Amino acid sequence: MGTTSLIVEMVIIGFQVLVWMTLIVFVVFGYNWIDLSKLKDWTTIISLALVGIAYTLGIVFDNFIGTLFTPWESKSWRWLPEHHGQSPGRMTPGRMRAYIIASNSQASEDLTNRANRSSLVRATSLNLLLITISSLVLVLKQFGFSWKLLLLEFRQNPARLARAAHAWQTRMQLPE
């Protein structure tokens, strides 16, 4: 997995963050103040600026999410055998990676691919939750409270979160 793939993943994460941040801005300020006809001439510049903003937000959000998910991810490294008198739970990910590279250098690329996919999945799982909540608040603010809408959202959101959590957990399982 090259640098380009990593950049694309950060842009994807950043655009997900931009979606829920935009929804929150619409909840607070509304969206009637935006005149799309005036933005037509600026589409190229706005698009490039959004990609840059998305990339930056992706890096920041990925690092933030990485710190939140670290306790759960470290449990997935328990398969590593003892090394230099340390138990697998006490080894840092850097030492574990060095051990794997020393044992099997070809496994390093697979390990990097898994870590990057895990990063995208864990960020997407939280972004889906934030997008769902912010869109629900926006719809409730714009159209008023509706029990049908609220029940529909609460019925569908756990299914989305369960799929995202299952995908994250599946990505974290390493082959035996």
Band the pLDDT of 156: cuts 50, 70, 90. Answer: low
Long-range contacts formed by 85-89: CB under 8 A, 24+ apart: none
Long-range contacts formed by 158-162: CB under 8 A, 24+ apart: 160/128, 160/132, 161/125, 161/128, 161/129
18-75 pLDDT, tens digit each: 999 999 999 898 888 888 788 888 888 999 999 999 999 999 998 888 787 776 666 6
Share of the chain above pLDDT 70, in %: 61
83 pairs with which residues across the strands?
86
In this predicted structure, the answer to whether residue 174 has a pLDDT above a threshold of 60 is no
Interacting residues of 16 by C-beta distance below 8 A, sequence separation 6+: 123, 124, 127, 128, 131
H helical segments located in 30-106: 43-75, 93-103
